[in-house]
A and B are shown apart, each in its own frame.
Chain A
Amino acid sequence: MSLPAHIASASASPGTRLPTYALVGNPNCGKSTLFNALTGMKQKVGNYPGVTVEKKVGTTFSQHGQPITVIDLPGAYSLAARSPDEAVTRDVLLGRRADTQQPDRILCIIDATNLERNLYLVHQILDLGRPVIVVLNMMDLAEKAGLNIRAARLEHELGVPVIPCEAVRGKGLVELRVAMSRHDLPLSRHAWEVPAPISAAVAELQASLTRNDLKSPLIARAEALLLLTDQDSIRVAGSTPLSPQTAEILQGWKTKWEGQGTDWAAVLVNSRYDAIGRIAADVVLRAGDQGPTTSDKIDAVVTHPVWGWVTLGAVMTLLFLSIFTFAEYPMNWIDDHMASLGDWVKGAMPPGDLRDLVTDGAIAGVGGVIIFLPQILILFFFIGLLESTGYMARAAFIMDRLMSKVGLNGKSFIPLLSSYACAIPGIMATRTIEEPKDRLVTILVAPLMSCSARLPVYLLMIAALLPGDRVPTWSKVGLMLLMYMLGTVGAFAFAWLFKRTLLKGAPPLMIMELPPYRLPAVRDVAFHMFERAWIFVRRAGTVILGISIILWFLSAYPKAPDTATPTEQIAQSFAGRAGHLIEPAIRPLGFDWQIGIGLITSFAAREVFVSTMSVVFNAGSDDADTAPLRQALLAAHWPDGRRLFTPLVCLTLMVFYVFAMQCVSTVVVVRRETNSWRWPLFQIGYMTGTAWVVCFLVFQVGRALGY
């Protein structure tokens, strides 16, 4: 719908600036659909500095083709923030964030099927005294539910433009654009009586905020009202703190009311809902009870004591089936093309270090990460689909009880489950968890779930542990399941531990809306998937490329004489020397320096262990299924002639990979999601430390038992 850029810039008169809009609304009200419909591909996504809240800024065009900036603020139920997301919305609207310009106008999207609760946020926003446009979304669904919403009445009551709209179908967008282009948006005649015991406090706080915090009087009033409902106000990085004078006044009133037994927050919320109730009674005409809706009928199955589990199991099975079957084709394709790209470079360039750097460092390193992209895309798509249909909330609802046993809530379930395929989408999906500590705990334990990059290592070790062709399949499968269980138990045990020690907090709440089921907005889901995947690819292309080059250097230098075989080369490289260096530390686990090289090089990505082993033991093949590598491993010996890869050592190595944090991509993503190096470093420390301790126990106990 947007005009091409050249027309837009031609018609924009110089010197005039169109207002900046903020888009706000409750979660699940179609906000991101509207944002995508308005701005199309013209979006910039990033983080608010200092917090991991997604910042989306887009450009739409006025009816005359002039560009209008729209900031998509995180979904919020109230301006009295309860999560970092809501805190950012509040702070941007109040002009508390120095990094984001205070929006001139506010676009408030509300769900017509759920008018009263949605109007609560509108009511707070009208206090801000900025021009507001209300977008009445999901008019079709409201009609289906037997609700007749009289938009004109609502417009009259609120005194601001109200645009009925169906964002999914693009209905009402033209009218919205026209309204957004208006130079003279009316200000709301929003004058609600602040109840008596509170009004004196509001006036005093307003005066102090104007005087001491240099706020404009209108914002000061809104902020004063908010300070009274913000009980334990969430402060996030980047938000300007309150002046001490104002804080003192606030505390004074609170102490006074506490003494009198006045429930000030309740008084405020009640009087807002009273006002909203009067508006809703006038605006909404109910066509009587419609009986159970489709959504109710679906819920009767999906949250049923028996069928609920069946559904959950089926959805998860489908998820994993598609990850491990559909993803295989594109993965093979990427693998083949990366290999032929390497071959092409090998053919096009004369032999030398630069060629090796490009093929063995850059292409192999980045390729080894990009190969997981299909799985990551499918996961993102599925997670998006679950969110968009409303099933995500049901999965959280069903799993809450189990997750509460380790001190988390149901919202941690999907992120942890996704981590079985790859921890990266799992960690990025933790953004739906409101409580920062719970989110952090989930991020910290997610990489313990055995991801698909561990599979090649497990497969190789199982092949070396149970050689021969007549090994029953069940014993291989059993071993594999054991590893998955070990990781899962570890994740829950550490979640429990962290919630009790390091990240102690109140038991999380489970106050969560169960939105009605909706057909997925596939366009938005796909858009979101590519957005997330792009972040990952950009990381793979930059940080991971850099790290791959350095790891290549460590195994290529210092140079052995030209006559040396690759095995001799890696043995005397920095990586080889580091392997010798760490041998005393890993000897108690039954590992020698050659395995040590594998542990070091696979720090970038776990599956690199397999290819390193094939170089170290000169197997000439890095396919875990083929015999040469397995034979080479079985032939490897300690200097004193003992076998290196005894069954016990193979088992210990697998256990090491269950626990150790051997994935640069995850480290980088955790850095991004926690906004500091502290947590990824802690994660490396605790996971690798646990790996060492558990391996030590397994190996020493196993040896004592005579294995």
Chain B
Amino acid sequence: MSPEIQTAAALVIVALAALWLTLRAVAKRKNPGCGGECACPTQKLKR
């Protein structure tokens, strides 16, 4: 892997990380407490 491709890949990852952290903070506010980590009843349990 050439250094140029590596730099490009690294920058993409950094951008994704930044985007993900921002989205996460925003998404949390809309639906407090019910992100991916909590045991919201799944559709199956809710039935």
Contact = CB atoms under 8 A, between A and B. Distances in A.
A–B touch (CB < 8 A): the answer is: yes
Interface of A: 17, 20, 44-51, 55-57, 69, 99-101, 237, 349-357, 535, 538, 543, 545-547, 549-550, 552-553, 675-677
Interface residues of B, number: 29
20 contacts: A44-B39, A46-B37, A49-B32, A49-B38, A57-B41, A101-B46, A351-B3, A352-B3, A352-B6, A353-B3, A354-B1, A354-B5, A354-B6, A543-B21, A547-B21, A549-B14, A550-B17, A550-B18, A552-B14, A676-B32
Contact of A56 (B6, B24, B39, B46): B39
A587 to B, nearest CB: 30
Interface in B5-47: 5-7, 9-11, 13-14, 17-18, 20-21, 24-25, 31-34, 37-41, 45-47
A357 B14 contact: yes
B17 A45 contact: no
Contacts of A545: 17
Contacts, number: 90
B6 A46 contact: no
Interface of B: 1-3, 5-7, 9-11, 13-14, 17-18, 20-21, 24-25, 31-34, 37-41, 45-47
B37 to A, nearest CB: 6
A3 B21 CA distance: 40
A349 B2 CA distance: 10
Contacts of A553: 10, 14
A356 B10 contact: yes
B17 A50 contact: no
A675 B32 contact: yes
Contact of A55 (B7, B18, B25, B39): B39
A50 B45 contact: no
Contacts of B13: 354, 357, 549
Nearest to A562: B3
B1 A350 contact: yes
A351 B10 CA distance: 12
Task: List 10 tightest A-B contacts by C-beta distance, closest first.
Answer: A46-B38, A352-B6, A44-B39, A46-B39, A49-B33, A354-B6, A353-B10, A352-B3, A353-B7, A546-B17
Given A352-B7, A549-B14, A550-B17, A49 B41 contact: no
B10 A357 contact: yes
- Most B C-beta atoms less than 10 A away, residue of A17, A350, A352, A356: A352
Given A350-B3, A538-B37, 8 more contacts: A47-B38, A49-B38, A50-B33, A57-B41, A350-B1, A352-B5, A353-B7, A356-B10
B2 A69 contact: no
A552 B17 CA distance: 12
Given A48-B33, A351-B3, A355-B6, A99 B40 contact: yes
Given A357-B14, A549-B14, A57 B39 contact: yes
Contacts of B1: 349-350, 352, 354
A323 to B, nearest CB: 27
A628 to B, nearest CB: 30
Given A17-B47, A355-B6, A675 B37 contact: no
Contacts of A45: 39
A599 B23 CA distance: 27
A46 B32 CA distance: 12
Given A49-B33, A50-B33, A353 B6 contact: yes
- Most B C-beta atoms less than 10 A away, residue of A20, A69, A549: A549
